Amino acid sequence: MTPPLRTHRLNLRTLALLALGIVLPLLVVGELAEDLLEKERFRLEVPIMDWIHAHAGTTLTRVSLSLHELGGPLTMSFLVLLVAALLYQQRHRAEALLALLGIGGTVLITAAMKLVFDRSRPELWPRLVEETGASFPSGHSAAAAALATFVVIVLWGTRWRWPALLLALAYTLLMGYSRMVLGVHLPTDVLAGWMTGLATVSGVYRLMRRRIKAQGAGRLPLPTQHAPAADTEMGHLEPEKEAPTARQSPLTAKLRP
């Protein structure tokens, strides 16, 4: 029977996942989408873009160009398929399916949203890269957030959880910022992309949670108890200890035939 305290912690973690990973991102995207449909303008976007452009140095611009290639559709598709294939080969089939549905679903949802909102690209200064698709939401930002969320889910049950979380967060923020440095997306495009990727992967994980746990795959912050495994590999078995024998006295030794 599950202790009451552990059940309470499980409920809190589940609620946190639902609130921060799914509900809040969907509310943010919904609010931004509503404003776009009503043709409302976001007053701070142009000043923010001007500030970013004024403070973007040569190094940051080069990094942004590299991230532009790294986060492109072809590169991301190849990366996702490679990760899914490696996980499947290692018999982590639930995690492989999570990668395909979570990250792949993010790409499809982002493409559909671009068709629906059809927001034009910002024309604030001559851009270093050409983008022909719609602006809202940012596909690069969405894919980065989806990949980062997936990595955190997979590694959360390991000792690498905090380094993975920090690196994933840094990668996601830098990818989104690079889109504004290159002038191909506005801040609301990037924000909507982040929220879309986070909500999609978190939602898919929520649906697959039982299957992932059943197959012993990735562990999100859901505490589980693990019994210590016995080491049965050759060379690691401890030799059996002989039972201690009673010490014979000198008198008993003389009387023994």
Q: Return the half-sphere exposure (C-beta side, CA atoms, 13 A cut-off) of residue 181.
A: 21
Give the pLDDT of residue 86: 94
Contact between 107 and 76 under an 8 Å Cβ cutoff? The reply is yes
Lowest pLDDT segment from 71-80, 115-124, 206-215: 206-215
The answer to whether residue 2 scores a pLDDT higher than 90 is: no
Q: What is the pTM of this model?
A: 0.77
What is the token pair recorded at 162? 């905090």
Give the pLDDT of residue 195: 96
Q: What does the pLDDT average to over 200-227?
A: 68
> In this structure, what is the dihedral angle of CA atoms 250, 254, 255, 257, given to the nearest 10 degrees?
130
Give the pLDDT of residue 4: 53
- Please tell me whether residue 22 adopts helix, strand or coil conformation: helix
- Rounded Cα distance, 30 and 192, in Å: 9
The answer to whether residue 232 scores a pLDDT higher than 50 is: no
Contact between 127 and 183 under an 8 Å Cβ cutoff? The reply is yes
Give the pLDDT of residue 220: 40
- Rounded Cα distance, 197 and 146, in Å: 4
Give the pLDDT of residue 109: 95
Residue type, 52: I
- Rounded Cα distance, 205 and 153, in Å: 8
Give the pLDDT of residue 133: 87
Give the pLDDT of residue 211: 80
Q: How confident is the model at residue 24 (pLDDT cuts 50, 70, 90)?
A: confident
- Sign of the alpha-carbon dihedral angle for 119, 120, 125, 126: positive
CB neighbours of residue 237 within 10 Å: 10
Contact partners, residue 118, CB within 8 Å, separation at least 6: 134
- Rounded Cα distance, 81 and 86, in Å: 9
pLDDT winner (highest mean) among 38-42, 178-182, 209-213: 178-182
- Rounded Cα distance, 102 and 167, in Å: 19
Q: How confident is the model at residue 142 (pLDDT cuts 50, 70, 90)?
A: very high
Can you tell me which residue has the tokens 């190094």?
59
Q: Which of 71, 84, 78 is nearest to 197 (CA)?
A: 71
* Domain limits, the chain: 4-214
- Enumerate the H helices of 23-160 as residue ranges: 24-37, 45-54, 58-70, 73-89, 93-117, 139-155
Q: Which of 192, 234, 166, 216 is nearest to 45 (CA)?
A: 192
Check residues 32 and 12 and name the one with the higher pLDDT. 32
Give the pLDDT of residue 216: 62
pLDDT, tens digit, for every residue of 154-173? 998 889 999 999 999 999 99
- Rounded Cα distance, 19 and 29, in Å: 14
The answer to whether residue 237 scores a pLDDT higher than 60 is: no
